[in-house]
């Protein structure tokens, strides 16, 4: 008797979100089945990976990943163009790192100029990220939204402490929005509800459930993402149906395994290989959990993740 693959069907569907303009625009989400189960349903868009770029040189990044951008990371425009033209980036994630009050406290106006300059130099979609200082991000991202008007960017991250200003700015300028909560299904749902109560369409939200690195709570991240995706598909819960984003580079490249030298821990193997493997393995795990968009740092880790996506597709 022939083996028949058991199949499930779902009532819900993940929203499809487009970012960028023209022929370089990308779509994420849109599936009506669990990750990569194409025999059960439609998976119209594979996960997209964005290269992270900072508005200032990444001096706090480990040398392994700094070296990958030697000669270009001193200027965000040069860096972004390098990722697009030489590394084949599908999207650029511009982190306005210097705007944090405890760093350079760069003004919203200066940050907006950086956004304009980067947009003028690239054609792939742009994700615009604040410094993760809730109060300052509200000011910075409002200016960034206006500077990027007409380019259909993905703006973030809106959190419970600052979402009202950021939502209003994104809505006025016609951008998509990242909603980030602290690794909790109920908090993610609550934030999405609050955002839609302001009149922002839930079909334009991208959920960031908050990420973690391999070995540092990735199982918990995975389980939260599973519950979000299950609610969207099995319960047809529209507030849980936005596609998901994982901003993994910032978590991976600060753990001991990506920084400890070979002389200190010789049993751990070659530092560069170990560190790159840590980011790519984290990425693959979260892709399997349902991530639709990842923000990553090292080109070789991105290359590996793309290869896995292609094989799964």
Residue 244 main-chain phi, psi, to 5 deg? -110, 145
pLDDT of residue 12: 96
Q: Mind giving me the DSSP string for 86-139?
A: TT--SEEEEE-GGGSTTTT---HHHHHHHHHHHHHH--S-EEEE--S-HHHHHH
Tokens of residue 249, six digits: 């580079």
Tokens of residue 114, six digits: 């950086």
- Rg of the chain over Cα atoms, rounded to whole angstroms, equals 19
pLDDT of residue 5: 84
Residue 142 main-chain phi, psi, to 5 deg? -65, -45
Q: Where do the domains of the chain lie?
A: 41-312
Classified as helix, coil or strand, 190 is: helix
pLDDT of residue 1: 77
| pLDDT digits (tens), the chain, 313 positions | 788 888 999 999 999 999 999 999 999 999 999 999 999 999 999 999 999 999 999 999 999 999 999 999 999 999 999 999 999 999 999 999 999 999 999 999 999 999 999 999 999 999 999 999 999 999 999 999 999 999 999 999 999 999 999 999 999 999 999 999 999 999 999 999 999 999 999 999 999 999 999 999 999 999 999 999 999 999 999 999 999 999 999 999 999 999 999 999 899 999 999 999 999 999 999 999 999 999 999 999 999 999 999 999 8
Return the number of other C-beta atoms located less than 10 Å from residue 295's C-beta. 23
pLDDT of residue 248: 97
Beta-bridge mates of residue 28: 17
Half-sphere exposure of 61 (CA within 13 A, CB side): 22
The DSSP symbol for 213 reads -
Q: What is the dihedral of CA 172, 178, 182, 185, to 10 degrees?
A: 100
Q: Mind giving me the DSSP string for 230-289?
A: HHHHHS--GGG-S-BEEE-HHHHTTSGGGT--TTT-GGG--HHHHHHHHHHHHHHHHHHH
Tokens of residue 28, six digits: 């994420």
pLDDT of residue 161: 95
pLDDT of residue 4: 87
The DSSP symbol for 203 reads G
Question: Position of tokens 């939200």?
Answer: 205
Contacts of range 54-60, beta carbons closer than 8 Å, 24 or more positions apart: 54/79, 54/94, 54/95, 54/97, 54/98, 55/94, 55/95, 55/96, 55/97, 55/98, 55/99, 55/106, 55/111, 55/114, 56/97, 56/98, 56/104, 58/97
CATH architecture of 41-312: Alpha-Beta Barrel (3.20)
């Amino acid at each position: 008797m022939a083996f028949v693959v058991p199949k499930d069907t779902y009532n819900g569907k993940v929203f499809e979100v487009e970012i960028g303009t023209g022929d370089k625009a990308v779509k994420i989400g849109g599936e009506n089945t669990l990750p990569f189960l194409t025999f059960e349903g439609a998976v119209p868009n594979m996960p997209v990976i964005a290269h992270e770029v900072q508005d200032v040189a990444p001096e706090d990044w480990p040398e392994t990943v700094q070296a990958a951008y030697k000669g270009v990371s001193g200027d965000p425009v040069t860096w972004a163009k390098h990722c697009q033209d030489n590394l084949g980036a599908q999207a650029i994630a511009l982190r306005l790192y210097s705007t944090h009050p405890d760093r350079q406290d760069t003004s919203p106006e200066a940050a907006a100029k950086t956004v304009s300059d980067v947009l003028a130099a690239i054609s792939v979609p742009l994700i615009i990220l604040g410094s993760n200082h809730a109060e300052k991000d509200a000011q910075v991202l409002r200016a960034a939204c206006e500077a990027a008007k007409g380019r259909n960017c993905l703006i973030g991250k809106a959190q419970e402490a600052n979402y009202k200003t950021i939502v209003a700015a994104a809505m006025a300028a016609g951008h998509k929005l990242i909603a980030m909560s602290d690794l909790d299904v109920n908090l993610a749902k609550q934030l999405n509800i609050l955002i839609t109560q302001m009149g922002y369409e839930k079909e334009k939200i991208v959920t960031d459930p908050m990420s973690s690195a391999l070995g540092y709570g990735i199982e918990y991240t995975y389980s939260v993402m599973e519950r979000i995706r299950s609610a969207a598909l099995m319960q047809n819960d529209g507030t849980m149906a936005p596609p998901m984003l994982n901003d993994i580079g910032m978590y991976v490249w600060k753990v001991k395994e990506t920084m400890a030298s070979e002389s200190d821990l010789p049993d751990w193997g070659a530092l560069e290989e170990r560190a790159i493997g840590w980011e790519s393995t984290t990425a693959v795990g979260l892709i399997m959990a349902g991530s639709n968009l990842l923000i990553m740092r090292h080109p070789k880790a991105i290359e590996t993740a793309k290869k896995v996506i292609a094989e799964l597709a």
